[in-house]
A and B are shown apart, each in its own frame.
Chain A
Amino acid sequence: MKIQQGFSLVRIWRYVGLASLLFLVTWQWTIQIDRSLGVSAFASGWVLFGVLAFLSLFSIRKRLPFMPLAPSAIWFMLHTIGGFLALFLFWLHTDALGSKGFYGQVLTVLFYITSISGVIGLFMEKVIPRQLTCSGVEIIYERIPAEIAGIREEVESLILKCTEEIGTSTLAEHYLETLSWYFQKPRFFLNNVFGGHLSQHWVRQQCMILERFLSEKEREYLDKVYMLAEKKRKIDFHYALQSLLKTWLLVHIPMAAAVTAMVIWHLILIMVFFV
């Protein structure tokens, strides 16, 4: 038995084809309405509303994992394709890249933020997991503070042991002056996000500065501290990238909710004043 993870290209293209067909039909419909001097925005508007309603169902589906509502993976794929379809329908509906009037402009901005955050999120979800895997460690996000605290304790007990055993405080002083900052909490967030090596460079630099002031035995302790710093670097990397994976939704979901609310109000206004 072969485990087929994800969907085949044929299946994806089938859904993309259906979405394209829906768009083309709507487009033709609006052209027909325009030709008969009707208001085509009604047609595109209703289709767009339907697609947006479908998109918001994904969030509800997530809250009902025990219901037989098709696997979440299918919902996610349809949500993604539907998101792009909504963008094209939005352009068709507004007849331009944006809408007129204050309300329309706010709605446009929110819609774009939702769409862009969705695309960025999608991109991150396809790229970041692999980077995390390559880091060589795996850690649950919520456990990161405890893990860092554990490393810090280990480093501090090493340094205390070094001081007690060798009787010099060079390593301890350097730790208090510089290295302790690094072990306090996740550091170099942005650099880690962009895949930089600043963290590694900084720790190596700090160790190199200190090395020539240490005896052979103290260096052994410094090596151990360096190893722990390396471990923390990987955890920091996870923290930065996992934070990204979690926080983009904090933009996407509230914005999507705001768009939905404004669209409903927009619909009510249209129905009350124009129909």
Chain B
Amino acid sequence: MAITTQERPQRWDQPFGLFMTDQDVDRLLTIPEISAIEENKFPAHCSLKGILKNDARIVKYSAGDIVIREGDYGNSAFLVLDGSLKVVLFPGLPGEMLGRRTIRKKTLWQAFKQLWTQRKTPEVRDVKSQNQYSLVRATEALGTSHVFLQDVPAILDRNKTASLGKGALFGELAALGRTPRTSTIFAETDTELLEIRWQGLREFRKYDQGWRRLIDQRYRANALNAHLRATSIFSHLNDEDLQEVADATLFETYGKFDWHLTYNKLQTQEKNLGIKDEPIIAQQGDYSDGILLVRTGFARVSIDRGNGQQTLTYLGTGDFYGADEIFRAWQGDSNVGLRVTITALGYAEMLRVPSKIVEKHLFAYWSSGREGFRKRSLQSSVESRRMQDFIDRTLTDGALLEWAVEERFVNGTQAMLINMDRCVRCDDCVRACSAAHDGNPRFIRHGKTFENWMVANACMHCADPVCMIGCPTGAIHRSMSGGMVIINDDTCIGCETCANSCPYSNIRMVSIRDDVGNFITDPQNQKPILKATKCDLCADQISGPACVFACPHDAMRRVDFRETELDENTTGF
């Protein structure tokens, strides 16, 4: 029998920049920010030259091009090689200028008019208005485009800005922390940048002390205090004490940043294998050495049960765990091992506040007659959220959540959950969706099922929207009003990045047509123009999500699994 062989896939089989040459790398090694890196600290399999050649690329922006947009998710940081850029300070640029979709609710009359203005042909677009509204321009690099600002001097007049010049590094916190970009940066002059994807950035931080110090300092200065301040248990601290807590806090990352790429593979694995493969953040029975705070991502909270692990709940951004255990230990309780195991669900970035600092700033405060504060501040913590109830729950009671965690539906903030015991399969929801989107349904009443529950193929408006990573024009973005993930049809270039990234296959590419029903094609290659489409929660409809509104049997809900306890009414109506 013939044996099929294949060369083992390597990390850098697909470099970030297709056109990076050895000369480019040599040039980069001469710039101060890179030459300061101690090359010998990098292991052979992950050399500095290798990182520069494969995890970085040189990109050029013309004056006015937006490099990063406020609110975008990105997985790379930028180092300015040449030219100058402007950072738009608070309150930032209006959404339309950034190529965002402006949501305007329909008036009652406009809503009613949809009854007869709906088109019979699918996916019709007004070509004229699309061309008029062109904020996108192609770049030298094949297949990439940039959104640009049309009147830079006016923007500079109207907005407060800061300058970034040669040698400035930006975008690294959002890239490593998977958090939205906090401001918009555009090229003031023609600019050359070194774009480093997060994998390379991670190695820089790991092997080079200078970069590590720089990145950590920036995080401590810009984001950590705000995170701690927003955590209920530290809300009583003054600035000085909070700074002490921040200085002592440790950063930890678990799992794969791009977990969505391996998600589908994971689905074919045996159920229990999934948990066993997850990186352990804290192990049941171990002594807790600090409070764990989730900075980004998700963590599974499970407990040993028989031969496997039973998922009790999960932690998301802003959640914390461990305060109760350390507090009991501090009070002299002998049985103070962690009651649960915490593992990274895909990817999790954690903050660990060491026990010593917790004892000093938290327990001393709690024990000085602030029992009420302790209870209040722990209310947002999963451990006080009936952790014992979670543990006491039967396998059947917890099965739905277990499934939701397994399938990563917990990522959704607006998952379309259908109770199939109530659903009469009438498709009124699909028709309503279609009616609210000019005759084009934006979801499929089909999806993964568990018992009588189905999570339909509709955008879940994820807490960790991996679809937004890599959108070259920022067409897919989170709405500032409402927080839903929406696509600006005008700036979508049909590159399919979002559709390929969505782990749940909830984004569909469609070929658009003109008024008479002909496909709109690219004059250069005659291929149809594609647009990404998905559920937008009927953002512009006055009635809200038409699907839920149209279900006569109340079988459908848009849910956040974190906040949901399903309780079916038995009346039948």
Tell me, yes or no, whether B553 is within 8 Å of chain A by CB: yes
Instruction: Tell me which of B208-216, B235-243, B421-429 binds A.
Output: B421-429
CA distance A132 to B569 in the complex (A): 19
Q: What's the least CB distance linking B436 to chain A, in Å?
A: 5
- Which residues on the B side are within 8 Å of A242 (C-beta)? 425
Tell me, yes or no, whether A212 is within 8 Å of chain B by CB: no
Instruction: Tell me which of A1-9, A33-41, A44-52, A111-119 binds B.
Output: A1-9
- Which residues on the B side are within 8 Å of A73 (C-beta)? 551-554, 573
Tell me, yes or no, whether A71 is within 8 Å of chain B by CB: yes
CA distance A67 to B109 in the complex (A): 9
Tell me, yes or no, whether A72 is within 8 Å of chain B by CB: yes
- Which residues on the A side are within 8 Å of B553 (C-beta)? 73, 76, 125
Q: What's the least CB distance linking A157 to chain B, in Å?
A: 23
| B432 and A128 within 8 A (CB) | no
Q: Mark A2-18, 1 if CB is under 8 A from B, else 0.
A: 11111111001000000
CA distance A125 to B111 in the complex (A): 30
| A140 and B446 within 8 A (CB) | yes
CA distance A129 to B423 in the complex (A): 6
Contact flag A6-B569 (CB < 8 Å), given A65-B549, A133-B452: yes
Q: What's the least CB distance linking B429 to chain A, in Å?
A: 9
> Which single residue of chain A is at the shortest CB-CB distance from B447?
A138
- Which residues on the B side are within 8 Å of A130 (C-beta)? 421, 452
Tell me, yes or no, whether B508 is within 8 Å of chain A by CB: no
Q: Among B420, B543, B550, which residue has its beta carbon within 8 angstroms of that of A138?
A: B420
- Which residues on the B side are within 8 Å of A7 (C-beta)? 554, 569, 571, 573
Q: Mark B519-548, 1 if CB is under 8 A from A, else 0.
A: 000000000000000000010011100101
Q: Mark B153-186, 1 if CB is under 8 A from A, else 0.
A: 0000000000000000000000000000000000
- Which chain B residues numbered 20 to 69 have a C-beta less than 8 Å away from chain A? none
| B550 and A132 within 8 A (CB) | no
Q: Mark A102-122, 1 if CB is under 8 A from B, else 0.
A: 000000000000000000000
- Which residues on the B side are within 8 Å of A67 (C-beta)? 108, 111-112, 542-543
Tell me, yes or no, whether B435 is within 8 Å of chain A by CB: yes
- Which residues on the A side are within 8 Å of B541 (C-beta)? 66
Query: For B111, B419, B553, which residue has the most chain A Cβ atoms within 10 angstroms?
Result: B553
Size category of the binding interface on chain B: 35 or more
| B571 and A245 within 8 A (CB) | no
> Which single residue of chain A is at the shortest CB-CB distance from B566?
A3
> Which single residue of chain A is at the shortest CB-CB distance from B431?
A65
| A133 and B445 within 8 A (CB) | no
Tell me, yes or no, whether B93 is within 8 Å of chain A by CB: no
CA distance A67 to B454 in the complex (A): 27
Tell me, yes or no, whether A19 is within 8 Å of chain B by CB: no
Tell me, yes or no, whether B131 is within 8 Å of chain A by CB: no
CA distance A2 to B541 in the complex (A): 26
Tell me, yes or no, whether A217 is within 8 Å of chain B by CB: no
- Which residues on the A side are within 8 Å of B546 (C-beta)? 65-66
> Which single residue of chain A is at the shortest CB-CB distance from B432?
A65
Instruction: Tell me which of B288-296, B345-353, B379-387, B557-565 binds A.
Output: B557-565
Contact flag A1-B563 (CB < 8 Å), given A7-B573, A66-B111, A138-B420: yes
| B572 and A6 within 8 A (CB) | yes
What total of A-B pairs shows CB separation below 8 Å? 130
- Which chain A residues numbered 210 to 239 have a C-beta less than 8 Å away from chain B? none
CA distance A62 to B419 in the complex (A): 20
Q: Among A5, A12, A69, A141, which residue has its beta carbon within 8 angstroms of that of B422?
A: A5
- Which chain B residues numbered 420 to 464 have a C-beta less than 8 Å away from chain A? 420-426, 428, 431-432, 435-436, 444-446, 449, 451-452, 454
CA distance A133 to B436 in the complex (A): 29
Q: What's the least CB distance linking B13 to chain A, in Å?
A: 35
CA distance A114 to B486 in the complex (A): 44
Contact flag A5-B555 (CB < 8 Å), given A63-B115, A129-B421: yes
CA distance A89 to B351 in the complex (A): 69
Tell me, yes or no, whether B114 is within 8 Å of chain A by CB: yes
Q: Among B112, B114, B567, which residue has its beta carbon within 8 angstroms of that of A3?
A: B567
Q: Mark B464-482, 1 if CB is under 8 A from A, else 0.
A: 0000000000000000000
| A6 and B559 within 8 A (CB) | no
Tell me, yes or no, whether B333 is within 8 Å of chain A by CB: no
Query: For A3, A66, A71, A72, which residue has the most chain B Cβ atoms within 10 angstroms?
Result: A66
- Which residues on the A side are within 8 Å of B449 (C-beta)? 138
- Which residues on the A side are within 8 Å of B568 (C-beta)? 5-6
CA distance A6 to B422 in the complex (A): 9
> Which single residue of chain A is at the shortest CB-CB distance from B560?
A1
| A65 and B571 within 8 A (CB) | no
Q: Mark B264-294, 1 if CB is under 8 A from A, else 0.
A: 0000000000000000000000000000000
Q: Mark A237-262, 1 if CB is under 8 A from B, else 0.
A: 00000100110000000000000000
| B569 and A75 within 8 A (CB) | no
- Which residues on the B side are within 8 Å of A62 (C-beta)? 428, 550, 552
| A3 and B565 within 8 A (CB) | yes
> Which single residue of chain B is at the shortest CB-CB distance from A136?
B449
Q: Among A6, A66, A80, A129, which residue has its beta carbon within 8 angstroms of that of B554?
A: A6
Tell me, yes or no, whether A77 is within 8 Å of chain B by CB: yes
Q: Mark B105-118, 1 if CB is under 8 A from A, else 0.
A: 01010011011000
- Which residues on the B side are within 8 Å of A141 (C-beta)? 425
Contact flag A138-B446 (CB < 8 Å), given A3-B559, A129-B420, A242-B425: yes
CA distance A12 to B570 in the complex (A): 12
- Which residues on the B side are within 8 Å of A8 (C-beta)? 569, 571
- Which residues on the B side are within 8 Å of A76 (C-beta)? 552-553, 573
Tell me, yes or no, whether A201 is within 8 Å of chain B by CB: no
| B567 and A5 within 8 A (CB) | yes
Contact flag A65-B569 (CB < 8 Å), given A5-B422, A7-B554: no
Contact flag A72-B567 (CB < 8 Å), given A5-B555, A65-B432, A138-B420: no
> Which single residue of chain A is at the shortest CB-CB distance from B113?
A66
Q: What's the least CB distance linking A250 to chain B, in Å?
A: 13
Contact flag A2-B436 (CB < 8 Å), given A65-B549, A67-B111, A76-B553: no
Q: What's the least CB distance linking A245 to chain B, in Å?
A: 5
Q: What's the least CB distance linking B341 to chain A, in Å?
A: 27
CA distance A246 to B111 in the complex (A): 28
Tell me, yes or no, whether A68 is within 8 Å of chain B by CB: yes
CA distance A4 to B573 in the complex (A): 11
Give 18 new A-B contacts, CB below 8 A, not counting A9-B571, A66-B542, A125-B553. Answer: A1-B563, A3-B557, A3-B565, A5-B419, A5-B567, A7-B554, A7-B569, A7-B573, A65-B432, A68-B542, A68-B543, A73-B573, A76-B552, A129-B422, A138-B420, A138-B446, A138-B449, A140-B445
The 3 closest A-B pairs by CB, nearest first: A65-B432, A6-B569, A76-B552
Where the two chains meet, the residues of A that have a C-beta atom closer than 8 Å to any C-beta of B are 1-9, 12, 62-69, 71-73, 75-77, 80, 125-126, 128-130, 132-133, 138, 140-141, 242, 245-246
* Interface pairs (6), CB distance under 8 Å: A1-B565, A6-B571, A12-B573, A66-B538, A71-B548, A126-B572
